[in-house]
Amino acid sequence: MSVFEWPVRVYYEDTDAGGVVYYANYLKFLERARTEWLRAAGFGQDALMREAGILFAVRHVEIDYRSPARFDDALRVEARIEQLSKVSMTFAQRIVRGADEVLCTATVKVVCLDRERFRPTAIPQSIREKIQHAQH
C-alpha cells in the first residue's frame, strides 16, 4: 500500500523546556498528515461533514517515541492505511528526520461518525472505494 508523506517543520512553539518537541505535539503532526492524506484523496473534512454528513475521529492510538526532534528540524510524516473496515481506518504512521532516521512510529485507528448523532456509521461506499483506490 502506498505511503503518503507530509513535510513538517518544528517551530519553537512545538518544543518543551528541554528544547525538544513536546511529546503531545507528535500527535498533532500525525493528525496533519492524516488530514492532508484525506485531502489528497479528494476529501476535505469540512466537505465530508457538510455533504456526506460524516466525520472521522480518533478511536485508538499506539505510539512509540524513539528519538527526539528539535527546534527547526525538517521532518517527514508518513501515513498509510494498514486496515480499512466498514466503519474505520487504521493508519500506520511514522515521523522521520532526514533520509531514514525514524523518530516515532504510531498506529492510529479512526472511526467514521455520523455528524448529527456522533455515533459510528458506515463509511459511504463511494468514499470507501476512493480510499481503496488511493491506497494503490
Could you tell me the three cell numbers for 28? 498533532
Closest to 77 (Cα-Cα) out of 19, 25, 115, 42: 25
Burial class (CB in 10 A: 0-12, 13-18, 19+), 40: exposed
Separation between Cα atoms, residue 4 and residue 22, nearest integer Å: 24
Rg (CA), the chain: 16
Say which DSSP state 120 is in.
Answer: B
Separation between Cα atoms, residue 10 and residue 29, nearest integer Å: 10
**Whether residue 14 lies in the annotated active site:** no
| Residue of 16, 46, 72, 73 marked catalytic | 16
| Bridge pairing between strands 4-9 and 101-114 | unpaired
| Residues designated as active site | 16
